[in-house]
Every structure is written in C-alpha cells, then in structure tokens.
Amino acid sequence: MRFFIDSADVKEIRAANDMGCVDGVTTNPSLLAKTGRPMKEAILEICSIVDGPISAECVTLTADEMIAEGQGLAAWHKNIVVKIPMGVEGMKAVKALTAKGIKTNVTLCFSPNQALLAAKAGATYISPFVGRLDDIGQDGLKMVREICQIYKNYGYATQVLVASVRNPIHLLESALMGAHVATLPLSVIQQLAQHPLTDSGIKKFLADWEKVPKAK
C-alpha cells in the first residue's frame, strides 16, 4: 500500500518523509491556505522534497477552465497530478487531460457511482472522502469497500486513494480492502507507530540494561 501525506506544510512533509513512509503528497486549497504561502511556491518546494505523485487542485468550475488550469499545473513539475472535483464538468476535464497524458485525481468523491464515473472518464486516482461521510452519519469505509469491489469486478486501472482519513482504523480497514493508496495527515502517520506495550517494553528494557554489568 502506498502512503501519501495529506498536507501542504513542508515541515510536516519533511517529518513524514524522514520516517521513510511517504510515496506522494496530496494538497487542497484548504491545506494551502493554512500555510499562508503562494500555491506554486509551496507545490514546487514539496516536489523538491518528495519524488512521487504530488496532487495540486484546480479551483475553476467549467471543463474548459479546468483543462487550461490543469495543463498549467502539470507544466510546473513532472510529478504533478491534477486534482479535479467530481461532477459533470470535472469528468469532461478528466477525459481531456487524460487524453493529453496528464495524470488526474478526482476529489470530493462520496459514492461508489461517482467513483465508477471517474474510472470510466480515465482518472488516474479516485479520492473517496471517508471521514467527511462518517461526519454526516454515513459509512465512509463501506463506500471504499464498494469502490474496491467495483473496480476489481471490471478491472479498472483507476487507483483508489483513500482520503479524509481521520484515524488508524480508517487506514487499517482500507488496507484490508486492498485500496491502492491512503493519504494521511501527519498525526495519523505518527499514531501508526504507537502502542502502549511498545512504550512500556522500551522502558523495561532500558531499566534492565542498567542492571547489566558494563565492561571495564
């Protein structure tokens, strides 16, 4: 399973990258706004840190605008993946950008049917938002399970990129379903390393080490 970090903050990206678990990065306008930096400056620095797919999101609404914007974003760096919001205009843009050899990540997916549409349009990645569906009392992981099953049934090449991941259970269940990628906040990546028995085990080993005679 590939891990992307869901952040536009280069400090967070470097911290996760140093752990050796980062295969790519996803950004969105909200994450960029938190950095207070111009988009291009932040994205290019991210590209210099991580050698993998870096999602940069379109902020226009019509297909023609998204196609032009997407081509512009893709020209920034070879690793840019153009993030396109789900919708009729978005699907037209995905079809056109795919035909030009530009990779796309369809974002704001909240149903298996939306994911099916994105695969048919030729999207490189589909981003089902698990946490936001849970937030409104629906089952985000059930959506991911159904998308994985549908893509498997028909052999679609579109990769399932699980997004809006809020906790390690979201990740574990997505991995068990065989989702290709998960994009994770730094806090969730750090949580993955934690276990109380690991902490108490280290404490005990260090305490016992004090009792081991040291060579003179």
In the complex with ligand G3P, the residue whose CB is nearer, 159 or 164, is: 164
- Kindly state the smallest distance separating residue 56's Cβ from ligand G3P, in Å: 12
Q: Which residues sit at the interface with ligand G3P, rule CB under 6 A?
A: 6, 26, 28, 129, 131-132, 163-164, 183
Q: CA-CA-CA-CA torsion for 95, 97, 101, 103, nearest 10 degrees?
A: -100
- Kindly state the smallest distance separating residue 129's Cβ from ligand G3P, in Å: 6
Task: List CB contacts of 189: < 8 A, sequence separation 6 or more.
Answer: 3, 5, 16, 19, 21
In the complex with ligand G3P, the residue whose CB is nearer, 69 or 96, is: 69
Task: List CB contacts of 19: < 8 A, sequence separation 6 or more.
Answer: 189, 193
Q: List the catalytic residues.
A: 83
**How far is the C-alpha of 56 from the C-alpha of 110, rounded, in Å?**
20
Indicate the DSSP class of residue 136: T
- Kindly state the smallest distance separating residue 89's Cβ from ligand G3P, in Å: 19
Element of type H or E holding 57: strand 54-57
In the complex with ligand G3P, the residue whose CB is nearer, 7 or 17, is: 7
